[in-house]
Structure 1
């Protein structure tokens, strides 16, 4: 058993600066130490997959991230661990607890199956792992092995934490209670969409500065943005449905002096709606979250989403976004993009369904996109 600060201080010396995740009783003292630290940032995620995306965004933007969660929520993290970190080659450190460990302490029935398969699941998704250190002299060698793998392979490394690995540590401070932003209660009525996704993406590009970072969600949004004009400050998400806004949050926190524009879709946003709450709490003033809403899962055959019955703007306001707008024309979108509010902002844009003829797929690979974005950030 070790004190949590031993590991956290050693990790900090190796560049790990952002921690995110979902609590577990095994992690209690570990999370408490991070929250109490004046030099580290803890982001409480709505679910484990969001945490992976947040840490991935931070890593892309130059800050090493640590993801912490209970193994009962491992399933929520499988999608981004296999289609985001693996595909884009994003190395993050994962600390997953081992509830229901065979031969270990008795636990609740819901942990039985996951306890049996946690190591095999890590093996299956090709995330190398070892047990979390329980002795002081194990900490440095463990971190050295993790960092060496992450540097060589650019993929995650996991530490599996058994019960009793870390000494108990009370929480001295609490996450700040941020008051709800005061904003108008009424938003303009949505008009029937008259413009395409391509029209709006062109307006967004036209309203950006050269230093801005553009992140486009999975499906046709990324492909159309690439087709309009491929730029080194753009990332085209693949897989990882619903993770775009959390990735944007991680990038925005790691690069507070650079504007980040996350271009989301209605289907993707609905898949991980809890991300709105985390983003609204953190409120990075340099993040602009734009939702293109055609009420369809268009890239998978045009199946309807439930967005017709959803007021996304009201959700964003209720979650703490300081500025919320509805835009109906490319000119409005360009104006809102061109003149940032210097507060966390959400723009809801309803668009017509449909895609351009002969829409190309990006010739640049996700790995190349990620490397290019890293170089873009480092060079400026």
Structure 2
């Protein structure tokens, strides 16, 4: 058994000062120690996939980060681990607890996952080893993790068994400082009759025209959002998500926290937002002033054939205001984007823009650059080390 600080201090010397995760009783002393250390940042994630996406955002800024989870939540993280960190080569360190390990008598809900945990990591091409329970083994384990991440740009996992870390009391029980409620909420007026609606193309063209290439970045959700942004303009400050549906806001949060000098704009869709609505609470609680979240709502999963979402009649801006985004706007016209980006807006800022369905008659091109190339170009543009 080790003291949590023995690992945390060594990891910090290697640049690990950001932790995101979902608690587990095996992790309790570890998480408590991280929370109580003023040198470190801990983000309480709504689910394990969100933690992975936030850690990936830190990696996008060239930083090291840890995502922590119980193995029962590993399933929640499969999508970002296979279609975000793996595809874009964003290295993160995973700490996964091993409930229901074969030699451990545990609760019935952990039995099956306990048997398949390491198989899942193997299937996702994530090398793993047992989290050291002796202080003398910590440096070597971290060195192996570092070597793998530096060589491949991909995740490495430490699997933590029961009683690996000695108990630690939590002293800092304060909620996130930004959980204080919205200061501006402007709901949508009724849409005027006979007035053409906003298209996704016009919305993204407007956003590009009002975001400088040197001091801002745009992260576009998977599907038509990224493809349409690419069609409007292919700039080095753009990142086009190709999977990990619903994870774009968390990726943006991790990046925005790491790079307060950049304005980070996340372009989301109604289907993606519905998939991971816990992300809105997390962004509202922890989101910095340089983060803006634009949700384009056409009421359907358009890239898969136009199946309706359940967003009809739903005010995402009301939800954002209830979660505590500092400024929230909603409407049917392009000035909603200006309000979100405006100097009077306080971040994290949110805009719910209702748009009309439809794509250009010539279709939407797919980015000609592969995800690895897009990430490399993006990081080089913001001065981050890959």
Q: TM-score, normalised by structure 2?
A: 0.95
**In 2, Cα distance between the equivalents of 1:338 and 1:224?**
23
> Which residue does the alignment assign to 1:197?
200
> Which residue does the alignment assign to 2:70?
70
- Count of aligned residue pairs for this structure pair: 379
Q: Deviations over 1:32-84 (max 9, x none)?
A: 11101111100000000001000000110122110000001110000110000
> Which residue does the alignment assign to 1:281?
285
**In 2, Cα distance between the equivalents of 1:371 and 1:92?**
16
**In 2, Cα distance between the equivalents of 1:140 and 1:115?**
27
> Which residue does the alignment assign to 1:53?
53
**In 1, Cα distance between the equivalents of 2:231 and 2:344?**
25
Are 1:230 and 2:229 matched, yes or no? no
**SS of residue in 1 equivalent to 2:38:** coil
2:377 to 363, 372, 375: 372
**Cα separation, partners in 2 of 1:379 and 1:38, compared to 1, 3 Å:** closer
Alignment of 1:286-297 (within 5 A): 286-297=290-301
**SS of residue in 2 equivalent to 1:140:** helix
Q: CA deviation at 1:342?
A: 3.9
**SS of residue in 2 equivalent to 1:138:** helix
Alignment of 1:1-380 (within 5 A): 1-104=1-104, 106-176=105-175, 178=177, 180-183=180-183, 187-191=187-191, 194-210=197-213, 211-334=215-338, 336-337=340-341, 339=343, 341-356=345-360, 357-378=362-383
**In 1, Cα distance between the equivalents of 2:206 and 2:378?**
21
**In 1, Cα distance between the equivalents of 2:176 and 2:42?**
14
Q: CA deviation at 1:188?
A: 2.9
Q: CA deviation at 1:257?
A: 1.9
**SS of residue in 2 equivalent to 1:58:** helix
| CA RMSD after TM alignment | 1.6
* Residues 327, 333 of structure 1: 8 Å contact kept: no
* Residues 176, 286 of structure 2: 8 Å contact kept: no
**In 1, Cα distance between the equivalents of 2:284 and 2:15?**
27
**In 1, Cα distance between the equivalents of 2:186 and 2:216?**
30
**SS of residue in 2 equivalent to 1:180:** coil
* Residues 190, 326 of structure 1: 8 Å contact kept: no
> Gaps (5+ residues) in structure 1?
none
**In 2, Cα distance between the equivalents of 1:96 and 1:379?**
28
Q: CA deviation at 1:176?
A: 3.2
* Residues 203, 331 of structure 1: 8 Å contact kept: no
* Residues 19, 41 of structure 2: 8 Å contact kept: yes
**SS of residue in 1 equivalent to 2:31:** helix
Q: CA deviation at 1:175?
A: 3.5
Q: Deviations over 1:142-167 (max 9, x none)?
A: 00000000000000000000001111
Q: CA deviation at 1:306?
A: 0.3
**In 1, Cα distance between the equivalents of 2:186 and 2:85?**
39
Q: Deviations over 1:286-305 (max 9, x none)?
A: 00000000001111111000
> Gaps (5+ residues) in structure 2?
none
* Residues 250, 283 of structure 2: 8 Å contact kept: yes
**In 2, Cα distance between the equivalents of 1:342 and 1:80?**
29
Q: Deviations over 1:244-281 (max 9, x none)?
A: 00111101111112110000000000000000011111
